[in-house]
Amino acid sequence: MSKVTVLGGCGAVGSVATGTLASSGVFSEITVADINIEKAGKLVKALGGNSISAVEFDAENPESIKKVIAGSSVVLNCVGPFYKFGPIIMKAVIESKINYVDVCDDFDATEKLLGMDEDAKRAGISALIGMGSSPGVANVLVRFCADSLLDQVEAVDIYHAHGGEAEEGPAVVKHRIHSMEADVPMFLDGKFTTVRLFEDSGKALEEETEFRDVGTYNVYAYPHPETITLPKYLKGVKRVTNMGLVLPPAYAELIKGVVRLGITGEEPIEVQGHKVIPLEFAVAFILSQRDRLTKAAGLNQPMGCLKIVVKGFKNGEKSTYIFSMSSRGQGMGEGTGVPAALGAILMAMGKIKEKGVCPPEGCVNPMDVVELAQTKVSVGGKKGFPIVIEHIDKDGRVEKLDLLS
């Protein structure tokens, strides 16, 4: 039995992760650390039990971070946006010599975290980064395909769509804005490159994609870190892409429009005698319109789908596997928070053996995740992840598979 501290433990993702950890029975003590101590206290009260406590901390202050994680066996970091807070928190955790898990989905932050690999090794700790949905489950399923189903992986295309959550925080919107403004990393024709969302390079990748139980939508380039980590573990792969959107499409288009207008800077400007940070105004405006756009689209519950298409060869013949994880009634919080909790549990159980900083495909055994999900997680009233696997053979025949068979 051990102690886990969940940083950002009462947010949309962190609260799901905390609840999953609390129900797992793996940890003897759980600390919910958040800047919003009132909200953290309400979550602790709702979960009940003497082994769960709330504490206030500042994610920008290394000493505050070190103070709240002291005595932990594992730190689970759910504080976003990761391009801002990820490196600060990781450095403090490494200096505290504590094993670490996060849900980092910013590619530039991922590069900085991977750059701390030697520091983590010297500290003798394991750091599992990007253990959410995408990245996270996506990486694990691709590794499963490479290890068990195909002799050679040729292409990996990852798609995701979600929306309708009861509430959305500023950090999520800032992540989306950051993603739209960035040079988006892709692995095309066997080499790393970048595209720009609003330029021809990005538009060339846009496509219409069918998401199981969710619908068919146009997806656009996302700067998630799978495109920079998976090629390092898949020898001979020619293509790795990440595409997605937030639902409803009108909400995604609103965010795109704000970014196109260029009102996302962080230098204050004066408005009628008041200093206003354009980014903070943009985020507040976007969130003020969210409920209206969601209701207009008839999106009255959270829903989402992660779809991974892996193409390659088996015994010299072309073979394609399509993995779909979809749900109605659950969205980003469950899709990211549950895998994050499983990552922390695997870390506590000693299943993550590699020292240093690793993405999921570099240190997580896919079957460990699947087996743990069958016993520790309930989604939609059923144990385990709701994964649908389809295999398409060289002749185009489709069959459904069972991950545990």
Domain with 349 in it: what CATH number?
Answer: 3.40.50.720
Domains contained in the chain, number: 2
The enclosing domain of 224 has a CATH number of 3.30.360.10
The answer to whether residues 153 and 259 belong to one domain is yes
Q: What is the DSSP letter of 109?
A: H
Crossing angle, helix 332-348 and helix 12-24, to 10 degrees?
Answer: 40
pLDDT score at 332: 63
Residue 398 lies in a domain: no
Residue 72 lies in a domain: yes
CA gap 138, 132 in Å, rounded = 9
Interior angle at CA 136, CA 134 and CA 138, nearest 5: 65
Domain that holds residue 101: 2-132+332-378
Element holding 342 (H helix, E strand): helix 332-348
Residue 403 lies in a domain: no
DSSP code string of 33-90:
EES-HHHHHHHHHHH--TTEEEEE--TT-HHHHHHHHTT-SEEEE--S-HHHHHHHHH
CA quadruple 308, 286, 216, 377: dihedral positive or negative? positive
Residue 336 lies in a domain: yes
The answer to whether residues 214 and 286 belong to one domain is yes
Other CB atoms within a 10 A radius of the CB of residue 278 amount to: 18
Token look-up 């009233």 returns 381
pLDDT score at 382: 57
Q: Which amino acid is at 232?
A: K
Contact in structure between 357 and 110 (CB atoms under 8 Å): no
Residue 206 lies in a domain: yes
Other CB atoms within a 10 A radius of the CB of residue 254 amount to: 18
The answer to whether residues 184 and 321 belong to one domain is yes
Judged by DSSP in three states, 23 sits in helix
The answer to whether residues 165 and 268 belong to one domain is yes
Strands 99-102 and 126-128 turn out to be parallel
Other CB atoms within a 10 A radius of the CB of residue 349 amount to: 12
Contact in structure between 203 and 160 (CB atoms under 8 Å): no
Residue 404 lies in a domain: no
The answer to whether residues 89 and 55 belong to one domain is yes
The answer to whether residues 115 and 167 belong to one domain is no
The answer to whether residues 190 and 47 belong to one domain is no
The answer to whether residues 337 and 215 belong to one domain is no
Dihedral of CA atoms 357, 128, 131, 135 in degrees, nearest 10, equals 10
The answer to whether residues 269 and 168 belong to one domain is yes
Contact in structure between 229 and 361 (CB atoms under 8 Å): yes
Q: Which amino acid is at 226?
A: E
Per-residue pLDDT of the chain (405 residues; tens, 9 = 90+): 699 999 999 998 999 999 999 988 899 999 999 999 999 999 999 998 779 999 999 999 999 999 999 999 999 999 999 999 999 999 999 999 999 999 999 999 999 999 999 999 999 999 999 999 999 999 999 999 999 999 999 999 999 999 998 888 898 899 999 999 999 999 999 999 999 999 999 999 999 999 999 999 999 999 999 999 999 999 999 999 999 999 999 999 999 999 999 999 999 999 999 999 999 999 999 999 999 999 999 998 989 999 999 999 999 999 999 999 988 766 666 889 999 999 999 999 999 999 999 999 999 999 999 888 877 665 555 566 678 999 999 999 999 988 655
CA gap 361, 352 in Å, rounded = 11
CA gap 91, 125 in Å, rounded = 12
The answer to whether residues 294 and 146 belong to one domain is yes
Q: What is the DSSP letter of 116?
A: T
The answer to whether residues 194 and 301 belong to one domain is yes
Q: Is the pTM of this model over 0.85?
A: yes
Residue 244 lies in a domain: yes
Residue 98 lies in a domain: yes
The answer to whether residues 112 and 207 belong to one domain is no
